[in-house]
Amino acid sequence: MQKIIILFCWAIFTLPAYAQTEGYAPADGVRIYYRIFGKGEPLLIINGGPGGNSEGFAQIGGMMGEKYQAIIFDQRGVGKSTLPALNTQTITMDLMREDMEALRKHLGIKAWTIMGQSFGGILSSYYTAKYPQYVKGLIYSASGGLDLEFTKYIQARIQQNLTPIERDSLNFYSQRLNQGDTTLHTRQKRAYFLASAYIIDKKFLPTIAARLMQIDMNVNGIVFQDLTKINYDTKKALQSFQKPVLILQGRQDVIAPEIAQTAHKVFSNSRLVMLANCAHYGWLDAKEKYMREVHKFMQKIPKD
């Protein structure tokens, strides 16, 4: 799988000045680092990647923490959830799913709503397929989907979102990188032009590019290898999920609209919202509508 594909869902942004707590949840071979913003209805936010830590999601965690108990965490092998070795035995989708369950138990949460951004949508689907009883509702935010269908579209969508100059520049620096030029200049340039495909509001470009460079490509490759190995497909398992589902999708996202439409058909109790003039980050390109839809959705979630 080419690198331009496996970088499809990363995080962004700087740390906010919101009150928060942090800690570690013991899991299989790793301590899962987490942060909690606010109080109230528990909302687990799963960042994109794979191979990206949760640092870039502190902003959205803080925003959600104004109304809910928003939880972000570092997936195994990244950030502060370190492992003694990174390989196909220590990082799998099954282990990542069980890490989430270990976190839920550690926090003493009976059931939670899960928001999955990009790859986070894939991981939330995999978790919910096994533990639907612990999920009150699902929010898919630019989700990678319920299967691996996104891999058929993402390269073309990335190229489509770029101007001819951006496209040529991305291809140029990608080629240099593939040929062994791993200098900081080449990596920064490639990240900058790749980031252009993920956002409409270009003022966020430098931040997105900087975060793209921080992804752990070793972890990224291992996770995608496992997704292929297990033939990731949760459509059948999730057909019986009757709780509310919100699907937020940017019309200009690198994830094709077909992915969101498939999820909408699978879930009988889902709402699909297509965000105009929006790429991969709805809370940036379409913040007002994005947040309004999330808050409206969270009002439907039953309180314990």
Confirm whether 248 is domain-assigned: yes
Confirm whether 293 is domain-assigned: yes
As for how many domains the chain has, the answer is 1
Confirm whether 115 is domain-assigned: yes
Confirm whether 165 is domain-assigned: no
Q: pTM of the predicted model, to two decimals?
A: 0.92
Report helix, strand or coil for 70: strand
Q: Which DSSP symbol is given to 113?
A: E
Exposure string of 133-166, with b = 16+ CB inside 10 Å and e = fewer, is: ebbbbbbbbbbbbbbbbbbebbeebbeebbeeeb
What are the structure tokens assigned to 96, written together?
Answer: 């990542």
CATH code at position 14: 3.40.50.1820
- What is the chain's pLDDT, residue by residue, as a tens digit (304 residues)? 334 344 544 444 444 445 579 999 999 999 999 999 999 999 999 999 899 999 989 989 999 999 999 999 999 999 999 999 999 999 999 999 999 999 999 999 999 999 999 999 999 999 999 999 999 999 999 999 999 999 999 999 999 999 999 999 999 999 999 999 999 999 999 999 999 999 999 999 988 898 888 889 899 999 999 999 999 999 999 999 999 999 999 999 999 999 999 999 999 999 999 999 999 999 999 999 999 999 999 999 998 7
Phi then psi for residue 23, to 5 deg, are 180, -170
Confirm whether 135 is domain-assigned: yes
Q: Which DSSP symbol is given to 57?
A: G
Confirm whether 163 is domain-assigned: no
Domain that holds residue 117: 3-155+218-298
